[in-house]
Chain A
Amino acid sequence: GQNIDQPTEMTATEGAIVQINCTYQTSGFNGLFWYQQHAGEAPTFLSYNVLDGLEEKGRFSSFLSRSKGYSYLLLKELQMKDSASYLCAVFSGNTPLVFGKGTRLSVIA
């Protein structure tokens, strides 16, 4: 089976940095995705990690450690519009894309 864990909620201040963690236990591993979902909208793609290490894309970075079954999403220079849910998803070749329950991030002034 597959198990993906993320914190349920986080709060951070505008302009700060926040790290959202994701741990996973899966049979096989092909890649890990991060998605952003604003309330009432569809999820949108943020990042994709296949190999260990850090992937940077503007204010967002994502890190993966396959040996530890661990990833994090790092958001820098937080803006109010970053208030959303952040979803971690794992794909392993013989099983479909499975999501964690998501982390609801609230950015406060």
Chain B
Amino acid sequence: DAGITQSPRHKVTETGTPVTLRCHQTENHRYMYWYRQDPGHGLRLIHYSYGVKDTDKGEVSDGYSVSRSKTEDFLLTLESATSSQTSVYFCAIQSQSGGMNTEAFFGQGTRLTVV
């Protein structure tokens, strides 16, 4: 199994509080992604990273920020959590081989509930 772990696995937080989710990899993969998954919407990209300190926005980035200060960690922060951010969050990692992208591997997911 690919070495990717998310923490925490479950979290309940109150509206207006900051929340940080962590994605940690031991594979030294270049690309890291944060997705959220909601019924009827599938996996939607929040932010992604293509290297240390290199990040960019996905389609649902409002209300979220990310940081990647080292290859192995990609942090997702909700500055002020809202009920609309209740979701399951998945981190994924992806590498390149011979100039081609390889398959992406997913973490176990974090179930976040904002009350």
> Which B73-115 residues have C-beta < 8 A from chain A?
90, 92, 94, 100-109
Stretch among B10-18, B20-28, B38-46, B64-72 lining the A interface: B38-46
Contact check, A42 vs B104: say whether CB atoms are below 8 A apart.
no
Contact check, B42 vs A99: say whether CB atoms are below 8 A apart.
yes
Contact check, B42 vs A45: say whether CB atoms are below 8 A apart.
no
State which size class the interface on A falls in. Answer: 20 to 34
Q: Which residues of A contact B104 (CB under 8 A)?
A: 33, 45, 89, 97
Contact check, B90 vs A101: say whether CB atoms are below 8 A apart.
no
Size of B's binding interface in residues, CB under 8 A: 26
Docked CA distance A31–B94 (Å): 13
- A96-B31, A97-B92, A101-B40 known; A45+B103 contact, CB < 8 A: yes
Cβ of A4 to closest chain B Cβ, rounded Å: 9
Residue of B nearest to A98 (CB): B45
Is A64 an interface residue when CB atoms closer than 8 A count as contact? no
8 interchain residue pairs of minimum CB distance: A101-B42, A42-B106, A99-B43, A45-B103, A96-B48, A102-B42, A43-B106, A91-B101
